[in-house]
Every structure is written in structure tokens, then in C-alpha cells.
Structure 1
């Protein structure tokens, strides 16, 4: 049994003495015959509540336990069959996805109207290639304007770069050699994932690609989305408007 030490700011083994055994605040676990069923009752201090730990939202209580007990304790297997691996958060917040970023952008961007941005997400950003365009715009070094970077001429594209370009892709005409190379690498990943897992391979690669894009700095993501949205808006207006 361990107790928290204010001096060392860590948990230390509790020496069992007569005073400890008679202390009503110390559970008499040492006197329990195993196996045993124990009910723990927790009382919340509503007047002075503690801040909500991050693991309560994320559900990653194991990460918090590792930080408390040390990584070597975990890796050594001492927690393999213990209570530590049996704790789980019943109702954590959903893990963030690329759509978490898209919806946050729709709420916070100052470009266009909220209803337009929401329609843009529902109609344009449901395609995987358009999600990838968030990254590809940054690869091409484009700003959040309606003037795209000059693309390479079609005759100059061949081999894997040409096959990476989907027929009728919304942003195909804007791609450069470098952005097409990035797109080709994604196509290769999808190809091999489908061979390894015909049912789920493609979806898994798309999800992982979304995680990579989501990990980029927010200001870059918003800049890229602003640019894509402006082009989409102009296209819907037939090239007119501001």
C-alpha cells in the first residue's frame, strides 16, 4: 500500500504500524482475504472542485498511470494483470479527426458566411482528394487567395505523376510536379493497403492521412482551407464575385 508524500510529491510505500492499522482513513487491505470484492466510494468536492484531467476527456487513463508509476514499471509487465490495466473511462470525448478541424474552421473563419462554409464542407470536402488538397496547397506554397500557383502543362507530366492525377479532380489543374509526387505517394500507400486489407485498407490510409494533416499548425490549415473555399465560391459563381 502506498500513500502520497507532500515532501517528495510522489507515492511512497506505507509502513504498516499500529498507528496506521488503527487509522480510519487507511483501508485495511492487509487484513482482507483474497480474492475479495471491494467497493470504493468517492465523494466529489463541489465547492472546491479539481480541474478536469485531460485523460477524462481523451479516455487515455493508461497514459496518466504511466506518468504516475513510471514507464519502466509498465514495460516490465508488473501491471499486466493488475488493477492498472482494468481501469477504463466509460464515456470519453470522441477522438479528434480531420473533421474536427474542418468544423472548427467553418465556425471561426472570417471568409464568407457561416452557411456558405458549412455547405462547402458538406459538398466539396467530402472527397478524399479535396482533403488532401489542404496539404497540397501548402506543398505548392499557395497563399489564401483566389490566384492559384501556375500548374505544370499536361504534356510535361508522365509516369507515376500522371497516374496520381484522378480524372476530373476538382483541383487537378493546379497541381505541380512536387504536389503530384506527394499525391503519388498517397496512391501507393492506398494500393498496398488494399492488398493487405481489401475491406479496410483504403479507409485506414485515408484516416491516417487525415491525422497527419490535422497535426499541422492550425494557422496553416486555416490558410489553406480559406484558399480552397474562395476558389470553390468563385467556381460556384461562374468566376465572378469578390
Structure 2
């Protein structure tokens, strides 16, 4: 509210005022300060709130949807989150599985984020290569959807054309896939999947990671330098880079 504190030169509608007769989404409610929790409890119980610097009570009709990545049901009353507020909000509870447990959603989410960031950055990028999608599909995604969103944003930034390749993905994601395959099945898996997934771009990504050091790259793939050179010739990759 104008005049409520130094620098407040104009009226500003708060979230409850803007969401009146609608829905207000509160993300990461487990991190809310105690005073904010108290205010939310009062508004949710009475439907009334008071703007900063204003003595008048105002009413609102707002549906609240809250989200958190913390086990608030187990920690309410212990972690600083009010138990009464938890029960006030816990009318309908929907538990969202982690992204690694619903891998079938990944292509849809990749398409969504790709469309969003391509438009936002005014880039022509409109598709993801098969190998890149395989890596995204098998990555465990400890950071869930936020990590996937950032990964696609990263790829769009570095992609100069229409199709995202393995080399455009964040290093920690492509590297995790390389480590998993090389540590479990080594060169045999590399050989058997070369035509399908470990194509020319993936080998280039591995070489890029080790700055084109052939010996280190071969060791990571549990292979010999001689066999690595065989694949360089097969994929028409210049060994002199």
C-alpha cells in the first residue's frame, strides 16, 4: 500500500487481492517463514486479510493450491511448519512421483520445454536427436523437472541448428550416461549399440569430454586405442583433431 513504508510510492495489489474469486498457487510452502504461515492460516480460515499499512480488513474468496518437495506430513510441528496449517491445507493430497519413476513423461516434457525455450530465445531448434533422447530418457534426474527444464534450456542455447545433438546437452548428463554404460558393459555394449545409440555424435561427445585424448577415451570405454581408432574410421571422424 502506498505510504506503508519508505519507498512505497504507489498502491500494489497483493497475491490474495489478485487471486480473488480464483486460484492461488503457493510453491515450496515448506520454506515459508513462521509469520507468513500464521498469515496464511488466518486468511484460509476467515477469508480476510489486511494490507500492509492499512487498518481495513478485506475479504477474498481464493482457492489455494500448495506444493512442496518436503515430507511435511512427517515433519509438521518439528521442522518449523505449523501442524494446524498442514491440516488446513491437506484437504486433497496428490503425490507426484519423481521424474525417474515416470520416464514415459520425459519425451512430452522435452517437447514442451523445447518449444518454450526455442520461442523465448528465437532459435530454430525444434527437435531432439534419437541418441540425445535416449540419454535424457535414461538419466536419473535427481533434480526432477527443474533439472530437465534447465537441461533443455542449456541445449537450446548451444544448438545452432534445428536438432539438439548429444554435444549440446549439459556435460554432467551426457557424462553420467557415458559412465553408466562404460562401467557396466564396457566396449561390448558400445559395440552392440553403436549402430543404434552410440553413433558418431556420441563418440564425439566422449572424445570432447577427454579433450580428444584417445587413450583416456578408450580407457573410459574399457577399450584399447586400436579399437577406438577402428570406430573413428567407421564413423569418419578425423583422429587428428
TMscore range, shorter length: under 0.3
Query: Which one has a larger percent strand, Structure 1 or Structure 2?
Result: 2
Larger radius of gyration: 1
Greater relative contact order (Cα < 8 A, sep 6+):
1
- The TM-score, its normalising length taken from structure 1, stands at 0.26
